Amino acid sequence: MLPKKKVTNNKTTLIVGLGNPGEKYESTRHNIGFSFIDKFSEQIDCPITESKFNSLYSSVNQEDRKLLLLKPQTYMNESGVAVKKVKDFFKISSNQTIVIYDDLDLQVGQIKIKDTGGSGGHNGVNSIIENIGNNNFIRIRIGIGKPLEKSMTNKYVLSKFTKDESKIVNNINNLAKNIIYSIVFKSISFAMNTFNSKIQ
């Protein structure tokens, strides 16, 4: 007997913003994934308010696709637990999954879109790779800059942006719909060519 073929849902895209829940983490560098997806949800009038899958989530139909918006509430280091639950429940393949997160190796204002790769030491991405068993998901990496000394990294990622940096971050968040729609409705290569590495 032939092995049963795994059925996947190719009409649904999972869009995940990474961050830590709770007021004390709001507007911190590590939560830029949350602020980006929050702006996207506002732009498409789809509030992320339902509670399920260890997450806040919502869904909306756009053209011929369903978009699932997800904010894991597991804290960053366990983000993969929530992502796996949603992927398994809706049978979403990894290449139909977009993960948005902060990147220390990019300047504030830089964006890097990729269709695969490692974690770059990001604990949230590490957790996703470990839980879903592959690294074939799309990434939107958003630059947060880096501290002067590596020993300050933990404190730095949990710090808030400066006033000038916040203006740049707002500019990036305002591009949320353009960036995500470019990936979903055009192509990953179009999105990469349009947005990668440019200071916004």
Q: Please report, for the domain that includes residue 173, its CATH number.
A: 3.40.50.1470
**Residues that are catalytic:** 30
Structure tokens at 8: 């996947």
Query: Does residue 123 lie within any of the structural domains?
Result: yes
Mean pLDDT for the stretch of residues 19-45: 97
139-160 mean pLDDT = 95
Strands 50-52 vs 12-17: parallel, antiparallel or unpaired: unpaired
CA dihedral (78, 70, 129, 169) positive or negative: negative
pLDDT in tens, 120-132: 999 999 999 999 9
Q: At CA 175, angle to CA 28 and CA 155, rounded to 5? A: 15
- Residue 3 inside a domain? The answer is no
Q: How many domains does the chain have?
A: 1
The answer to whether 144 touches 32, Cβ cutoff 8 Å, is yes
Task: Output the CA angle 97-12-137, nearest 5 degrees.
Answer: 10
Q: Is residue 6 part of a domain?
A: no
**pLDDT at 197 > cutoff 80:** no
For residue 97, which of 85, 106, 110 has the smallest C-alpha distance?
85
Determine, yes or no, domain membership for 43: yes
- Whether 1 maps to a domain, the answer reads no
What pLDDT score does 200 carry?
56
Domain enclosing residue 182, as ranges = 12-195
- As a whole number, the mean pLDDT across the chain is 94
